[in-house]
């Protein structure tokens, strides 16, 4: 039997997932690391932590599964998108990586847009330049740390730094490169126009591959550290959202994924690169060769519930500890006692700014409509409902773009809650399904590796062989009517508060 290894470089840890070619998961391991916030709105990590976590998780999954490293046919990489790793000519990291959730670059986004021209930016990249993207981080370094920039020889994305350490190759792939503001999305290659605008040479960036293409092999040095076999092929892989979409089977028209992790993502496949006229969503290259995807991203989805747990959920955490349960299960059980609509309490989930449909780093979270009637269960449920309203914003944009929606697949931590699945089905007004695997990007990376290794003929064929629908949640018609009313209120709140957000920021 052949096996596939997926490595997902996340924001809180790196996961190694070992999968048989049948799709059966035979081992998983995760190693965690810290996130640094040296100033408000900043987010950085040490790339060395990613590599050490990759080494530790690979060794752990090999040990726990007892799979011989020689039976691993291929390796796929996935990871947090947009982060910038700056290397000198010897491949040494020059400073901490600036992450996807870092908000320091608003001025640089405007600078790049003025310099390249807004029309050119959209024509080349199919997206506006946003604070989370890579190009403004590069310009920030040029303008604020020129002494560091003077030594920069290569700029890599997070998973591609792990690739470099694993193979010695400077390589990336189209889906992750799409989030840099430096890739020509239609032509699937680096944009000479955007590179000129940010003052970069193309040789400072890695070679771009399609996601299932082999980009290198495990080096002798990496083999000794990880326990892998030297020469094992490593494919391009995918940014976390594109790889996660492959892991959810979002590789054909009509099937939409809604992922509720720290961030929330609504993701749809496209045969051609269509763009929302108002640029509220992102159009990127898909991990399926020659295809594209559109996605809406909200920055604090599950992150909103985590904030509630950590800041306001002390009592629920204590209960969970006493009964040996997960605090999220306690919160979900509590929220079930509140009626849909929470007696007029509406939560805006903009705790770290927002991206879709409002690209506004100044947006903030709000509990709107609190009264003496409200109890803890209403607060918790209003968070679940508010995040669901925010995800619906993206679904509505996809419908406006004319994209078919025949099935919505739920994944991420939020999909584990039966209550939250029901709330989403009722807010969206359509059936929600879950599938037999919920390993997200790491599983998608395994499937991409399987295509590169020749175990599956195509990415869709890999998904058809390994992914099955396991559970369905139908909307409740009466609750749908309630949420229609409150979604209309939700939609009016951001426009009413936008200027006030700017003032307090």
Give CA–CA dist 231/223, Å, rounded.
9
- The closest of 206, 91, 237, 231 to 151, measured between CA atoms, is 91
Are 102 and 36 in contact, with CB atoms under 8 Å apart?
no
Using alpha carbons only, what angle is made at residue 315 by residues 309 and 317, rounded to the nearest 5 degrees? 55
- The closest of 144, 398, 119 to 274, measured between CA atoms, is 398
Q: What homologous superfamily is domain 302-430+474-504 in, according to CATH?
A: ATPase, nucleotide binding domain (3.30.420.40)
What's the confidence (pLDDT) of residue 88?
98
Classify 151 as helix, strand or coil.
coil
Give CA–CA dist 466/494, Å, rounded.
41
For residue 261, pLDDT beyond 90: no
Are 280 and 271 in contact, with CB atoms under 8 Å apart?
no
Helices vs. strands in the chain: H and E counts, helices first: 18, 24
Q: What homologous superfamily is domain 3-236 in, according to CATH?
A: ATPase, nucleotide binding domain (3.30.420.40)
> Which of 49, 102, 176, 240 is flagged as catalytic?
240
Per the prediction, the chain carries an average pLDDT of 96
240 is catalytic: yes
313-351: pLDDT as tens digits? 999 999 999 999 999 999 999 999 999 999 999 999 999
**What are the structure tokens assigned to 92, written together?**
């040494």
Q: Burial of 48 by CB count in 10 Å (0-12 exposed, 13-18 middle, 19+ buried)?
A: middle
* Dihedral angle computed from the Cα positions of residues 121, 123, 128 and 131, in that order, rounded to the nearest 10 degrees: -50
106-124: pLDDT as tens digits? 999 999 999 999 999 999 9
Query: Is the torsion defined by CA of 94, 100, 102, 108 positive or negative?
Result: positive
Give CA–CA dist 333/60, Å, rounded.
35
Other beta carbons within 10 Å of 266: 27
Give CA–CA dist 108/220, Å, rounded.
41
Query: Which band of pLDDT confidence, cut at 50, 70 and 90, is reported for residue 503?
Result: very high
271-305: pLDDT as tens digits? 999 999 899 999 999 999 999 999 999 999 999 99
Asked if the domains 3-236 and 302-430+474-504 are classified in one and the same CATH topology, the answer is yes
Exposure string over 15-29, b if 16+ CB within 10 A, otherwise e: bbbbbbbebebbbbb
Structural domain boundaries in the chain? 3-236, 302-430+474-504
pTM (whole model) above 0.85: yes
Beta bridge partners of 469: 435
Report, as an integer, the average pLDDT of 165-187. Answer: 98
């Amino acid at each position: 039997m052949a096996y596939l290894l997926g490595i997902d470089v996340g924001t809180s840890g790196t996961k190694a997932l070992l999968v048989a070619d049948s799709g059966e998961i035979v081992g998983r391991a995760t190693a965690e690391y810290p996130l640094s916030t040296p100033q408000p709105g900043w987010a950085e990590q040490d790339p060395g932590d990613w590599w050490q976590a990759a080494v530790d998780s690979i060794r752990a999954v090999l040990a726990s599964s007892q799979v011989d490293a020689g039976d691993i046919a291929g390796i796929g990489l996935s990871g947090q998108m947009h982060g910038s790793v700056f290397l000198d000519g010897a491949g040494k990291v020059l400073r901490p990586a600036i992450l996807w959730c870092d908000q320091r670059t608003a001025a640089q986004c405007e600078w790049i847009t003025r310099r390249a021209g807004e029309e050119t930016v959209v024509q080349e990249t199919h997206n506006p330049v946003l604070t989370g993207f890579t190009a403004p981080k590069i310009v920030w370094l040029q303008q604020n740390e020129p002494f560091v920039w003077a030594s920069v020889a290569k700029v890599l994305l997070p998973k591609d730094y792990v690739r470099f350490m694993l193979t010695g190759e400077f390589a990336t792939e189209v889906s992750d490169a799409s989030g840099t503001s430096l890739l020509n999305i239609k032509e699937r290659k680096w944009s000479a126009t955007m590179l000129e605008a940010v003052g970069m040479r193309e040789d400072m960036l890695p070679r771009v591959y399609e996601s299932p293409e082999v980009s290198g092999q495990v080096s002798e040095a990496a083999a000794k550290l990880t326990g892998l076999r030297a020469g094992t092929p490593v494919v391009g892989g995918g940014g976390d959202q594109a790889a996660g979409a492959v892991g959810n089977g979002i590789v054909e028209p009509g099937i939409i994924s809604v992922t509720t992790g720290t961030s929330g993502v609504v993701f749809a496949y496209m045969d051609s690169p269509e763009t929302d006229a108002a640029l509220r969503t992102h159009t990127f290259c898909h991990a399926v060769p020659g295809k594209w995807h559109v996605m809406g991203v909200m920055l604090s989805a599950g992150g909103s519930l985590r904030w509630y747990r950590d800041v306001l959920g002390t009592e629920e955490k204590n209960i969970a500890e006493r009964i040996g349960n997960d605090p999220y299960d306690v919160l979900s059980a509590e929220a079930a006692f509140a009626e849909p609509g929470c007696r007029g309490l509406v939560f805006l989930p903009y705790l770290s700014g927002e991206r879709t449909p409002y690209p506004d780093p100044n947006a903030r979270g709000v509990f709107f409509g609190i009264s003496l009637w409200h109890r803890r269960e209403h607060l918790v449920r209003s968070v679940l409902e508010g995040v669901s309203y925010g995800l619906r914003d993206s679904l509505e944009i996809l419908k406006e773009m004319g994209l078919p929606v025949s099935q919505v697949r739920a994944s991420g931590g939020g999909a584990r809650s039966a209550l939250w699945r029901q709330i989403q089905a009722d807010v969206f007004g359509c059936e929600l399904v879950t599938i037999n695997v919920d390993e997200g990007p790491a599983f998608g990376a395994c499937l991409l590796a399987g295509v590169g290794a020749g175990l599956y003929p195509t990415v869709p064929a890999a998904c058809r062989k390994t992914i099955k629908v396991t559970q369905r949640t139908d909307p409740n018609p009466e609750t749908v009517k309630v949420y229609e009313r409150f979604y209309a209120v939700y939609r009016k709140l951001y426009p009413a508060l936008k200027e006030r957000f700017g003032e307090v920021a």
